[in-house]
Amino acid sequence: MERTFVMVKPDGVQRGLVGEIIARFERRGYKLVGLKLFTMPTALAETHYGEHRNKAFFKGLVDFITSGPVAAMVWEGKNVVAAAREMLGATDPQKALPGTIRGTYGIDIGRNVAHGSDSEASAVREIGIFFEEAELLSYNRAIDTWIYE
């Protein structure tokens, strides 16, 4: 089973959307295997968004993402990396389809509510920088036979 990293950003936490976003993944059938609420240190933010280091929006992005608590989570399930990106919608909420998380709750690109890993390799990298191995749980759910055939 695949795992991906999803994070409700400071805007989503401030707006009371943590429960709503968790609920969407739960209802879809994905399994929550890691969860924590914390304020990102600057160094972690710079590592997480390292690919954007040379972009004009980098400093604003780091300032924003460290400005308040985030809800970091790891979801597990079949093809969950691509599915989570689809559930989030396009990076720019104005281009995100209605019904997606960003298309439902966001307007500006710098306030797009939540993050999701963009590939299996990114998921492994991001899970590794946000979670210790011991913080990721392995457990069985009786309901799984009603989700997977």
Q: Which residues are catalytic?
A: 115
In the bound state with ligand IDP, the residue whose beta carbon lies nearer, of 66 and 91, is: 91
* Binding-site member from 35, 82, 110, 135 for ligand IDP (CB under 6 A): 110
Nearest to 3 by CA among 27, 39, 35, 49: 35
d(CA 140, CA 145): 11
In the bound state with ligand IDP, the residue whose beta carbon lies nearer, of 44 and 109, is: 109
In the bound state with Mg ion, the residue whose beta carbon lies nearer, of 31 and 72, is: 72
**Directed axis angle between helix 18-28 and helix 80-88, to 10°?**
130
91 binds, among ligand IDP, Mg ion, none (CB under 5 to 8 A by kind): ligand IDP
Does 82 sit near ligand IDP (CB under 6 A)?
A: no
d(CA 69, CA 9): 8
Piece of 16-24, 37-45, 101-109, 118-126 that binds Mg ion (CB under 5 A): 118-126
Give every CB contact of residue 66 below 8 A, 6+ residues apart in sequence. Answer: 39, 40, 41, 42, 45
Q: 65 forms bridges with which residues in the sheet?
A: none
> Which residue ranges make up the site for ligand IDP (CB under 6 A)?
52, 57, 61, 91, 109-110, 112, 115, 118
